[in-house]
Amino acid sequence: MRHVAEATEESDDEARVLCWLQQARRCIESLVTTTTRARVMLAGQAGQAAAVANIRSSALTLQECVTDCPCPRSAPADQLQLYVSRYRFICLEMESPPRGTNEGHRLAVLDRLADLNAELAAHLDGLQ
């Protein structure tokens, strides 16, 4: 009977984490969509300041979502906070003077944004 109770508690915990993830998903999807749009803006070499502001704003919204609605387990929330930090770092990098040619720097940032979006999407798929 003890094993059944432990299994039930474990499944309840998983259900609470999945519910939390569903609540956070709106903010996560907004960040990924914003980043994708920002990549388009950056690819056109115009609107860098707006792209950075949009990414930063979406990352902050996700951070607030994770903070305001704590996850039943700390690991998923900590991992999302790490992703938020990585997006914010890319924003700082876009604002700092580029090393080398402007074009090379811009393309490298675009690649990092695409990689980060893909990594976050894969991470989310792994949680479900």
pLDDT tens for 73-96 read 888 889 999 999 999 999 888 877
pLDDT band for 9, please (50, 70, 90 cuts): low
As a whole number, mean pLDDT of residues 41-51 equals 72
- Residues 59 and 21: their CA atoms lie apart, in Å, by 16
Q: What is the mean pLDDT of the chain?
A: 81
Q: Which residue segment(s) compose the domain that 82 sits in?
A: 2-127
pLDDT at 112 over 70: yes
Distance CA 27, CA 20 (A): 12
Residue 4 has pLDDT above 50, yes or no: no
- The model carries a pTM of 0.78
Closest CA to 120 of 70, 67, 59: 59
How many domains does the structure of the chain reveal? 1
The pLDDT, as a whole number, for residue 60 is 92
With a cut of 90, say whether residue 2 has pLDDT above it. no
pLDDT band at 46 (very low <50, low <70, confident <90, very high): low
Which range among 24-38, 68-82, 90-104 shows the weakest confidence by mean pLDDT? 90-104
Beta strand residue intervals within 35-74, DSSP E: none
Report how far apart, in Å, the C-alpha atoms of 81 and of each of 9, 10, 47 are.
Answer: 26, 24, 27
